[in-house]
Amino acid sequence: MAALALHFWFLHYQQPGAIIDYSNVAVRLRTVLFVTVDLSLLACGLLHGLNGLYQVLLDFGLRGRVQVWTARILVLLGVLVFVLGLSSVLKFAVTA
């Protein structure tokens, strides 16, 4: 929640109306604080969201093999999306 609040503040409301561009992102993602905030937000958001989606599917009566495979697919989706986000965030840290 704290990471999300920071993300919202710095990106949208600290300078309302300002359009963020690539160099703005690059400057921010060279600092340890923002890399930490963004990566922890990425991990927590994906975990919480995909787990919530799984719980909703369970409520709709997912059972047996379908349940197991749905869980595996959601985990795989989470890992793939996390790797995509991680690579885009670390791109700036590496080229700093």
Partner 1 sequence: MEHGPRPKVAPRPTWLPLVFAWEVMTMAFFTGKTLYDGAWRAYVNRSQVWNAVGMWAWLLHRITGLALVFYILLHILLMGTFLLQGRSAFDALLSLLMGNPFFLGLDLLLTAAVLYHGANGIRLLLFDLGVGFNRQKEIFWTFMALAALVYAAVLWVMVPEILARWR
Instruction: List residues binding partner 1 (CB under 8 A).
Output: 1, 4, 8, 12-13, 16-17, 19-23, 25, 42, 45-46, 49-50, 52-53, 56, 77, 81, 84-85, 87-88, 91
In one-letter notation, the amino acid at residue 88 is: S
CB of residue 92 vs partner 1: minimum separation in angstroms? Answer: 8
CB of residue 53 vs partner 1: minimum separation in angstroms? Answer: 5
**23 versus 64: smaller Cβ distance to partner 1:** 23
CB of residue 75 vs partner 1: minimum separation in angstroms? Answer: 14
